[in-house]
Chain A
């Protein structure tokens, strides 16, 4: 297996070392006064970041993302690559990513790559454990996205046990229903204080903000309490995201799912009981497009009035409120959430908001519980 020099501003070329020589090599990096004609570099580390990749292709994608992640959140990065097709061996390389900090200074994050071929992957946790910097939070970014992390076996369980925070992405789950149930159970059993972040949930923040602002009691008094219908349209592979969006509404507004139907075709429907009456929700998949929410239509009525708000994805990084009460033209907000490195970097320091995510996850589980297939 080749040892690629990480992209971005690398302090030195990646150097292959024995596993028991990793710390010594890292220490040597900081004793060496910079590169030949470069300035001295300062180690910056606010956390441990374990990144697990289940294939070479995923590892290459992560190696492109990591420089931007550590630019925003300096960390000791431990990239674990499980390559089932390679010969059984565990190899390590050491380098650092550096970010210019002005006046010739660089702040650098340590970067250790552990590549495990074949069944050597089961040795990865034992290699990782001594490399974690003490007294700092540890985040596990579990990149495989075909199934939920807790369904991923013993290797995940061992890495999970080391982490204060697990980041994953539900976009791409092959069986969203089972995956949501498994994830909720895992989240419920997690120790107090453990943080869990779904990047797909984070991608929803712009939608949540847009809907929260548009339906704020200061803008449309009483609307939140009188919602009767919600329609969510999404692109392929975005069902978990749409599901979590509905779960967010249900959790926040006190809706209890009473029935659900997964019809043949692209639509799922739920009926909820809310404090003020029934709420019907439809989630529809578009045949083509990006793995994003495309449109949300919320209708409310009661007390002698009715109104609808339509929220649309108007293009890359642009959401808008269209039609009724948006004014004479769509009201548009920017969303800079798209790129994965930025999402991960913003997730890393987050400590608050996890109770909200768990609330939504629990609501999603209840929705799964009433679903007839």
Chain B
């Protein structure tokens, strides 16, 4: 398998490429750190995780660049933000020396119930207005650029008047927040909801995409479903279609980091390295690094 070591490039010219850090494969990640320019840390693991996990993550802070990604904010739940949680996020971001903090444009819970899954919001101007206020609160509380990520949604609210690109673009334009573009989520939504992924990408302002997520999922077949459903399970190699969307994104955007997300079948580490190599190969087509080190 052809593998590619970390690029010896000017980070300002080429996005950093790496993976989402997972505690279950901590030892393997450290043994293969040379393949990653960056590791994305889930801030909630630093806040709620065990002492050993937290220590392991903080030990990485001086060894490799780290970005901060959250899953616990539930910014879309229509209640005031948990300011104490945001303050803890700010502490984590500071300890990790992370240049950005990202979260999902979604909600996961309401008081008394937590689904543990990302749910879409009705894409209306009224909801966007409420979210704009919340994004400003996050920006005031966490002193690094804040990014919003598009999600893969299973269902749609019937009163969504704006497209996903319009909704995300409106919030980011009004607040100055950046976008964490998940190309796999876009690929999945194109399949499941008929979203035009090219129109989505073309609608995003140039320069608004600061980071990118890549992942691979599964096809779900069940009685009652009119067609197979693609699930963003983070369990398999990234599909070619998602990488094609990465190409299109890189033609207009200059993200600082591209992160491969993997949450299942973590023992298939060859697949993880292969996906990182595939991302670098796509990147090489659109960028000319100052110097590139490759091994077969």
Bound together? no
